[in-house]
Structure formats: structure tokens, C-alpha cells
Amino acid sequence: MALSMGDASRPEGSARISGHDGPTSKPRFAIIGAGSRGNAYAAAIVRSGLGVVAAIVEPIEFKRQQLGVKYIWHATGRTSSQEYSDYKAFVTSEHKRRKASNGSSPDRDDAIDGVFVCVPDSLHHAIVTALAPLGVHIMCEKPLATTLADCLSIQRTLSQHASRIFAIGHVLRYSPHNMLLRHLLLEEKAIGEVLSMEHTEPVGYWHFAHSYVRGQWRKESKSAPSLLTKSCHDVDFILWLLTSPPACDGDNQTPHLPSTVSSVGSLKQFRRSMKPKAAGNATNCLSCPIKPSCIYSAPRIYHDRHLAQSATNWPVDIVNPETASILQHAGPAKAKQALLASLAEDYDTATTPVPDIESRPWFGRCVWESDNDVCDDQVVTFAWNDVAETGRGAKTATFHMIAQTLAQCERRGRIYGTTGEICYDSKVIVVHDFVTGETREYNPEVPRNSHHGGGDDGLTECFVKAVAAVRDGEVAVSAAQEEFLGCTLDDMIRSHAAVFAAEDARTGKKVIEWASWWAQNIIKTP
């Protein structure tokens, strides 16, 4: 299929979220998936005051009820149109609503204007393509899909229904910290022209064990490479800063595309050969002789570190979503008992069918006896050549995803320019000016209760305002996409493609030539 390599992003529009005061009636949203991300976006909608959480789609009744009680039913009372156990039932219901109103549903009280897709990654393709014909606006949690083919399939489907806003959960673009960083870098030219960038995502030692060794993202064949499932928005962040030009460049909106992509990485720690000898043949933490001292002990992580401190949200609610309710109604002892019962679940590789093992997480499983295979340490390098026509200079960027860190998703990096240097973490930006000798420190305000440095709230607010502006006829879809979200579908495909190119480089032990890879894998794709 044809996708122009020259389509430009206008990300600074994401900062212009104050340009819409909201419609007389707030847009209504459905949340598909009542996990941690679904709850995060539902909370962000409510905090914004700009939209209404109107429906929940979730197969697990307890989780469906939990989200409904928090964000839906307290205001309106529980009705059948507000909850669904299956996305297909929701789609069927919405088709019937639109048919009954001859397709003119935006002004109806029970209309759904937009949908947040917050389900397991492997379901994104099926659900987004099923939603597209409805004409609802869609925000899909990252990654867009788990294969390049499915990403391109989503693009083709959405292109056939292009009259709606589409957003991706690349929340790093929308935090006040990162928006300021980009402003300093590209609009103020605080360090001149960028020459090189180093960016690190420290996943966190027990966080990686929870999600990528014991959890649903542990196995590439059932999920996707960790570079995609964990760090696709870091790759997008790098391209947002170094590839797409800012609006201040005027007519020069041609993106500066990478010339090469390379990557190295592997699973280094979480494998059987690294298992401490003192752990013996134990496959579950509850029966392990080194349980009291092991830093990856499941009881130590989920009970001592969280439940014993009355913390029942992520990751405890991922292990057992009923823990919070049990703690509230039956007390700490019963809550601990329920949690440990979930952690005690185990399998025998000799007798448990492989499909049963792979079909679910095993949060009490020994991290050195799990069936995980995704990288816990990976480095990606992008290189850009000079482009005389646009005046964009050569530069490099490296990205490091590392599991074994104390910091948990608190990203950090340095950017080197012709007249200065910027260093940043998740809270502070420091600019060193070589010309004046001055050092300036910026401390952007981080919204409380919002993940990713306020990125969750930022993205949600941008999406809701874009939906409202389109629904109320104030602006066309393409203009709202640019003004409020600053990220087009082509931008989303490009950043996902960069991840898949990096994986091709890593597994093939080669350097990818971007233009050739793009021509072969994107343009020529039927």
C-alpha cells in the first residue's frame, strides 16, 4: 500500500488544548476493557470535566461493575445500554442505534461519540476494525497492533472511514514536561541544531518481572517484542523530537527521516541458567526456600510492598482484581489469603498443556522458571543524514530499554546540540548554553493522579476536545486531528514501523537502510 514518507506531523497542536471551551452537552465515551489502562482513561475523562463515561465493555463481571460504580452508575443509575460483556455485542447495539436514528446519533442522549480501546494488544486489530464502520471516534491504547501487517490493515480500514478522530496511546507526547522539552528544543532552538540524543526507559526490576516475565507480555509469540509492547511510545517520542518538524518551520514541513536503524538486545537475566542454586527445584515463590531474601519473591512484591501498605491498585489488582473489595469488607487477613491463593497457582511443564500455560499470567511463578522470552535489555540506534533541500543536519539517537533498574519508567536522557546541551528526567529539564555559559532549570508542573507525567490526562483532554469540536461542527476532522492531537495516522504508522524495523535489525543482526526497508515493507504491502 502507498503511504507517503513525506507526510509531516504537527505535534505542537497538542499544546493547544485550551482552544475549545466544550460543547453545551458533553461528548459520551465507551471504555472497552476495564483493566488498569481503561480505568486510567476513565478517571482522566472524569477529571477533565469535558466528557462523560457512558458505557463499559468488559467480559469479567466484577471488573465491569467496579469501573461502572466508579465512573458511570453513580450519576445515572445502572441500565443495560451502559454495560456489555463483549465488544461484538456493543458494536451490534451501536449499529442498531444508528439504524434506528438513520445514522444521526450524535445528538441523542444515549449516543456514544467515542471509544477508548484498552484491551490486550492482540485484540486491538479486531476491535478497531469492527468499530471503524460505526463512525465513532477512537482512541486505541498503544501499541496499535502486535504485527506490522495488522497495523497496516488498521490504517487501510480507517482510511475508508476517514471522517472520525483517531488517537493512539502515545502519552509521552502529551505530558507538560515533554511538550516543554520539545518547545525548547525545536522552537526556541535552546541548544542550536540537534546532533545527538540519548534516551533511556528504566522499566524497573520488579515491574519488568510482573509484566514481562510473569505477565501477559512475557512471550513474543503470544504478545509481541518488549520493544513494541513497552517502548513503542519511547520510539515515537524520539521521532516526534527529531523527525517531524515544528510548525514554526512554516512551509518546510517535510519530515527528516532516519537513514539507518540498528538494534542489539536479548534476554539476559530472567532465564533458567541465572537461577540461584539455593532456590533448588522450586517453580513457585510460595514454596521457594529463598522466598524471604529473593528480590523477585512474589509475596514480597505483591503483599509486603503493596497490600500490606493498603495499596490495592496496580499491580495487586492485576493479580487478583477482587483484593480491594475483600480488604474493605473482610479485612487484611482475608485479603492476604485471597492474594496468596492467586500467587499459589502454578503449572507443571511435564503435564500442563502448553496452550494452558500460555493462555494466562502466572504471577507466583519463579522468574527463572517462566516461559518468557522477550528482551530485558535492548538498545536501538537511529541515524540521520544531511538533507540539503530542507537544511536538516546529520544526527544520531540511541534508545535504551533496560529492566534491571531502581527507577520505574522514570525516563531520562541527554540531547547534544551545536550550542548547548539538555539533560532531562521525568521531572526536571536542564539546559546548558555554551554561548552564554548559563544553566537554566525547568520544573514543569506534573498533574496529580495522572500517569506518565500527566500524559494520560493530556492525551485524554486532547482527544475529548477534538471529538467535541468535530461533533459540534466547529472544525473538520483533519483540522481537529492536527490542532488538538498533533499526530496523524501516518505518524502512528511511521513510529510503529520504526519499532518493527529495529526488531528486524536485532533479529537479523544487521543495519536497516530505512528508505529501502520502507519501500519493501510499507509501500509494497498490498
For residue 281, the 8-state DSSP code is T
**pLDDT computed for residue 250 by the predictor:** 61
Q: Confidence class of residue 98 from pLDDT cuts 50, 70 and 90?
A: confident
> How is residue 525 written as a grid cell?
504491502
Counting beta carbons within 10 angstroms of the beta carbon of residue 77, is it exposed (0 to 12), middle (13 to 18) or buried (19 or more)?
Answer: exposed
Question: Is residue 212 domain-shared with residue 133, that is, in the same domain?
Answer: no
**pLDDT computed for residue 102 by the predictor:** 64
Alpha helices in 294-375 (DSSP H): 298, 316-319, 323-330, 332-343, 354-358
Assess whether pLDDT exceeds 70 at residue 5. no
Please compute the mean of the pLDDT values over residues 369-375 and round it to a whole number: 97
Q: Is residue 85 part of a domain?
A: yes
Question: Is residue 64 domain-shared with residue 191, that is, in the same domain?
Answer: no
Q: Which of 241-245, 300-304, 371-375 has the weakest average pLDDT?
A: 241-245
Mean pLDDT taken over the chain: 90
Q: Which domain holds residue 221?
A: 176-269+373-445+497-523
**pLDDT computed for residue 251 by the predictor:** 64
Q: Which of 103-112, 119-128, 227-236 has the weakest average pLDDT?
A: 103-112
Give the dihedral of Cα atoms 497, 498, 500, 504; nearest 10 deg: 130
- Backbone angle region of 202, left / alpha / beta, with phi > 0 → left and psi within -120 to 50 → alpha: beta
Question: Is residue 113 domain-shared with residue 208, that is, in the same domain?
Answer: no
pLDDT tens digits along 192-227: 999 999 999 999 999 999 999 999 999 999 999 999
Q: Confidence class of residue 389 from pLDDT cuts 50, 70 and 90?
A: confident
Q: Crossing angle for the helix pair 124-131 and 148-159, nearest 10 degrees?
A: 10
Q: Confidence class of residue 23 from pLDDT cuts 50, 70 and 90?
A: very low
Signed CA dihedral, 381, 391, 180, 174: sign only? negative
Q: Give Cβ neighbours of residue 331 (< 8 Å, ≥ 6 apart).
A: none
Question: Is residue 337 domain-shared with residue 408, that is, in the same domain?
Answer: no
Q: Is residue 347 part of a domain?
A: yes
Q: Is residue 139 part of a domain?
A: yes
- The total domain count for the chain is 3
pLDDT tens digits along 409-443: 999 999 999 999 999 998 999 999 999 999 999 99
Beta-bridge partner residues of 262: 381
Please compute the mean of the pLDDT values over residues 61-84 and round it to a whole number: 86
Beta-bridge partner residues of 432: 421, 439
Question: Is residue 53 domain-shared with residue 164, that is, in the same domain?
Answer: yes
Assess whether pLDDT exceeds 60 at residue 15. no
**pLDDT computed for residue 75 by the predictor:** 60
Scored b (16 or more CB within 10 A) or e, 338-348 reads bbbebbeebbe
| CATH number of the domain to which 162 belongs | 3.40.50.720
Q: What CA–CA distances, in Å, run from 56 to 39, 72, 118, 290, 494?
A: 10, 8, 11, 42, 31
Q: What CA–CA distances, in Å, run from 125 to 11, 156, 158, 430, 502?
A: 25, 12, 11, 40, 22
Q: Which residue has the cell 462523560?
A: 52
Q: Is residue 429 part of a domain?
A: yes
Q: Crossing angle for the helix pair 87-100 and 124-131, nearest 10 degrees?
A: 10
Q: What CA–CA distances, in Å, run from 126 to 132, 150, 205, 348, 502?
A: 10, 9, 33, 33, 25
Question: Is residue 225 domain-shared with residue 102, that is, in the same domain?
Answer: no
Assess whether pLDDT exceeds 60 at residue 3. no
Question: Is residue 50 domain-shared with residue 141, that is, in the same domain?
Answer: yes
Domain boundary among 307, 332, 358: 358
Q: Confidence class of residue 106 from pLDDT cuts 50, 70 and 90?
A: very low
pLDDT tens digits along 434-477: 999 999 999 998 777 667 778 899 999 999 999 999 999 999 99
Residue with more model confidence, 270 or 255: 270
Question: Is residue 184 domain-shared with residue 293, that is, in the same domain?
Answer: no
Please compute the mean of the pLDDT values over residues 218-239 and round it to a whole number: 96
Q: Which of 106-115, 178-187, 299-308, 399-408 has the weakest average pLDDT?
A: 106-115
Q: What CA–CA distances, in Å, run from 482 to 16, 44, 167, 473, 474?
A: 10, 21, 11, 16, 14
**pLDDT computed for residue 20 by the predictor:** 44
**pLDDT computed for residue 111 by the predictor:** 85
Q: Confidence class of residue 162 from pLDDT cuts 50, 70 and 90?
A: confident
Please compute the mean of the pLDDT values over residues 366-392 and round it to a whole number: 93
Question: Is residue 113 domain-shared with residue 182, that is, in the same domain?
Answer: no
Given a contact cutoff of 8 angstroms between Cβ atoms, the answer to whether 502 and 261 are in contact is: yes
Q: How far apart are CA 52 and CA 110, in angstroms?
A: 11
**pLDDT computed for residue 109 by the predictor:** 61
Question: Is residue 182 domain-shared with residue 278, that is, in the same domain?
Answer: no
Assess whether pLDDT exceeds 70 at residue 105. no
Assess whether pLDDT exceeds 70 at residue 67. yes
Assess whether pLDDT exceeds 70 at residue 22. no
Q: How far apart are CA 161 and CA 84, in angstroms?
A: 24
| CATH number of the domain to which 393 belongs | 3.30.360.10
Q: How far apart are CA 320 and CA 517, in angstroms?
A: 43
Please compute the mean of the pLDDT values over residues 135-162 and round it to a whole number: 95
Q: Confidence class of residue 248 from pLDDT cuts 50, 70 and 90?
A: low
Q: Is residue 423 part of a domain?
A: yes
Q: Is residue 492 part of a domain?
A: no
**pLDDT computed for residue 320 by the predictor:** 95
Residue with more model confidence, 5 or 197: 197
Q: Confidence class of residue 141 from pLDDT cuts 50, 70 and 90?
A: very high
**pLDDT computed for residue 13 by the predictor:** 35
Q: What CA–CA distances, in Å, run from 303 to 66, 298, 306, 317, 342?
A: 22, 8, 5, 12, 12
**pLDDT computed for residue 172 by the predictor:** 95
Assess whether pLDDT exceeds 80 at residue 69. yes
**pLDDT computed for residue 74 by the predictor:** 74
Please compute the mean of the pLDDT values over residues 244-253 and round it to a whole number: 67
Domain boundary among 330, 358, 386: 358
Return the half-sphere exposure (C-beta side, CA atoms, 13 A cut-off) of residue 372. Answer: 32
Scored b (16 or more CB within 10 A) or e, 480-500 reads bbbbbbbbbbbbbbbbbbbbb
**pLDDT computed for residue 281 by the predictor:** 96
Assess whether pLDDT exceeds 60 at residue 234. yes
Cis peptide before 176 (omega within 30 of 0): no
Q: How far apart are CA 50 and CA 89, in angstroms?
A: 27
pLDDT tens digits along 309-343: 999 999 999 999 999 999 999 999 999 999 999 99
**pLDDT computed for residue 249 by the predictor:** 62
Q: Is residue 262 part of a domain?
A: yes
Question: Is residue 398 domain-shared with residue 518, that is, in the same domain?
Answer: yes
Q: Is residue 136 part of a domain?
A: yes
For residue 11, the 8-state DSSP code is G
Question: Is residue 260 domain-shared with residue 399, that is, in the same domain?
Answer: yes
Please compute the mean of the pLDDT values over residues 503-522 and round it to a whole number: 97
45's enclosing H/E stretch is: helix 36-48
Given a contact cutoff of 8 angstroms between Cβ atoms, the answer to whether 167 and 142 are in contact is: no
Given a contact cutoff of 8 angstroms between Cβ atoms, the answer to whether 227 and 378 are in contact is: yes
**pLDDT computed for residue 17 by the predictor:** 37
